[in-house]
Each structure stands twice: as structure tokens, then as C-alpha cells.
Amino acid sequence: MHELFFESFNTKVQLTKEEELQIAKYLTPKKLRKKQYLLQEGDPCKYVAFVEKGALRSYSVDEKGNEHIIQFAIEGWTISDLYSFLTDEPATYNIDAIEDSELTLISKTAHEELLLTMPKFETFTRLNITGAYVAMQKRLTSIISSLSEDRYESFNAIYPDIVQRVPQHMIASYMGLTPETLSRVRKKMVGR
């Protein structure tokens, strides 16, 4: 239990066995079946979830009922509605499982206590959020400056595993395109 979580932790900040045990007390394992929600829009987000196994997505739903995928998370990734988690405001995103999944949950109180008592946890958190920030900035840059064709190509190059595991219309949603448009973009690319 929590194997991958600690593996990931140790590659960023090295822990002793005692520290691992100390942190483990604050962690909750959770299994989620495909399509089950971890979080629904309007509820406060109570957890940060680390994916041990499976795949999840966070997404918003607009007035017309269209879903817009904000983030995918597969093994080794973290997912949450961070704004809601930090402020206790109602979540603006939904999070659900794309595949049957196993998670390591960190509750808000656990998160706060760990930050106060374990400097290494704060470092781990800082490195995680920094990495997420840099990744998101790259995504933003490509959205405002690249053609959809190039964006799909680079998504394929960076996340081939996600392309394999996730239905194409979700990739389209993540890219801010309709499924039809992504289908046509792909068709155009085959030629070359």
C-alpha cells in the first residue's frame, strides 16, 4: 500500500523508514471504479489524490453541458481541485476515474499537519507544485501559440501512454477541440 507514493517521494526527498511510517499514518488508501467520482462540482475538495494505479481526469462542465478536461492523472501523478482544497470553497471541477483505480489520499488536516511538522513534506509539496506549474505553463503556451496539429503531435510525443489508454474524445476535450475536429486533424496528419 502507498508503494508508488513513497517511491515518488523518495526520488524527490529521501526519507528514513521511520519518517515513512510517520507519514503513512496520515495516508488513506481508496479504490475507485471506472466512472466513479472522487469529487463533484459544488462539493468542497477534501483530498489530494495520488494515483497508485489507474487513470483519472478532472474537468469542468460549461453552460451548454460540454465537458472540458483540465487534467489527466495516471500512475505517479497527483490530482485535486487545489483551489477548493486550499480555500474550502465549493469545487469548480469534477474528478472521476477513467479506469478502475487505486489512490493514496491526503486529507486537508493531514496535509496541514504534515506541512507544519515535517519539513521534508513541505519540500516534497513544493517540488510537486513547481513541476505541475512548469508543465501547465508549457501547455498554456502551446494552446495560445501552436496549431492544433502541432499540439496533437506534441501531446502524442509527451504522453504516448495517455493516448493509448484514454478515448480520443477526451484527448480532444483536453486540447480544447471537438471530437470531430480532432478526428479530422488526425486524418490530415496520416498523409505525412
Partner DNA sequence: AAAAAGCATTGACCTATGTCAATGGAAATC
Partner DNA sequence: GATTTCCATTGACATAGGTCAATGCTTTTT
Q: Which residues contact 155 (CB under 8 A, 6 or more apart)?
A: 162, 163, 171, 174, 175
Query: H-type helices in 25-176, by residue range?
Result: 82-87, 108-117, 119-145, 148-158, 160-165, 168-175
* 3-class DSSP state of 164: helix
- Give yes or no for residue 162 binding DNA (CB under 7 A): no
3-class DSSP state of 15: coil
Is 181 an interacting residue with respect to DNA (CB under 7 A)? yes
Indicate which single residue of 187, 189, 191, 192 sits in contact with DNA (rule: CB under 7 A): 187
DSSP classification of residue 63: T
Of a copy of itself, DNA, none, which one sits near residue 168, judging by CB under 5 to 8 A according to partner kind?
Answer: DNA
Work out the end-to-end distance of the chain between its first and last CA atoms, rounded to an integer number of angstroms.
46
32 lies in the binding site for DNA (CB under 7 A): no
Is-contact 65 81, C-beta < 8 A?
no
Site string for DNA, 96-135 (x = CB under 7 A): ----------------------------------------
Determine, following the binding rule CB under 7 A, whether residue 180 of this chain makes contact with DNA.
yes
Residues lying near a copy of itself in the complex (CB under 8 A): 60, 62, 66, 68, 70, 82-83, 86, 92, 119, 122-123, 125-126, 129-130, 132-134, 136-141, 143-146, 175-176
Residue 92 binds DNA (CB under 7 A):
no
Write out the residues near DNA by the rule CB under 7 A.
64, 66, 147-149, 167-169, 176-187
